[in-house]
Amino acid sequence: MAKDYVEHRVVMGFISTPADEAEGLAKKLVESGLVACAQVTAGITSYYRWEGEVQRDAEVLIIIKSKLSLQQAIADFVENEHSYDVPECVFVPAVGGVPAYLQWVGESTK
């Protein structure tokens, strides 16, 4: 694979969910072929402003690995499957890493 593919077309995504949704959403994302890997982290505490008030919630963070070209499809999938009105689903580019792993991410997705 070309170096450009390895370094610039793989993205990592972050999705926060209630703990009881995380495993199911992570599995569906992998089964759909939209992500190569979905890691469900231990509990996190999120503070955020919602409807004019500062909120505090126990959540779980799902870290996903996929291709840049699938970002919108993943965001749409999360919007449809998530219980939140406005779910967090954001991406950052992978700018380096073990080439074989980054190639695997590309080959393991649609």
Distance between CA atoms of 110 and 105, rounded to whole angstroms? 10
Per-residue model confidence (pLDDT) at position 1: 47
Architecture of the domain defined by 3-107: 2-Layer Sandwich (3.30)
Q: What is the largest CA-CA distance in the chain?
A: 48
Distance between CA atoms of 58 and 16, rounded to whole angstroms? 10
| Tens-place pLDDT, residues 19-49 | 999 999 999 999 999 999 999 999 899 999 9
For residue 27, the SS3 value is helix
For residue 95, the SS3 value is coil
For residue 100, the SS3 value is helix
Angle in degrees, CA 49, 87, 90, rounded to 5: 95
Task: Name the band, by pLDDT with cuts 50, 70 and 90, for residue 95.
Answer: confident
Q: For the chain, what are the domain ranges?
A: 3-107
Mean per-residue pLDDT, 48-54: 96
